[in-house]
Amino acid sequence: MSILKEFRDFAVRGNVLDLAIAVVIGGAFGTIVKSLVDDIIMPPIGILLGNIDFSNLFLVLKQGSKLAGPYVSLAAAKDAGAVTLNVGLFINAMVSFTIVAFAIFMLVKVVNRLKREEVQAEAPATTQDCPYCLSSIPLKASRCPHCTSQLG
């Protein structure tokens, strides 16, 4: 079997295509969540906390070589060559992560529930309860292995 044929068989297998689709949709979902956090959620939180702009919340670790601080924005600090600890960007990333993790949790929860319902609907009964001791025993059993009662 040639390498190209093996690669083609691998690439068109269902799992690989599902993974590729999930990565593309996940990337798009990530940009939507980033916009939600940066543009919708964090501005009101910043106003509630005293007009804080989280994207410009930073600590200067080392003054810039081009221009000394204080710096009015993170961009100004970066332009001056300052070394900064970007606390606000980290907070935005943590909020984004929490939203994405919660959305994935909810999706997995729904999928697991659907799978569980599907398995319960498809699986025929393979056991029965013993009428004497109520233990679970195989359908074809003629005697209960737990209480040794003769089954009808």
Each residue of 88-144: pLDDT tens digit? 889 888 888 888 888 888 888 988 888 887 777 666 778 888 888 888 888 888 888
Q: Domain map of the chain by residue range? A: 3-126
H helix intervals, 36-86: 42-48, 74-80
83 vs 19, more confident = 83
The pTM assigned to this predicted structure is: 0.57
Fold of 3-126: 1.10.1200
Express each pLDDT in 31-60 by its tens digit.
Answer: 888 888 888 888 888 888 887 777 888 999
| Both structure tokens of 121 | 């609907």
The contacts of residue 51 (CB under 8 Å, 6+ apart) are none
Share of the chain above pLDDT 70, in %: 96
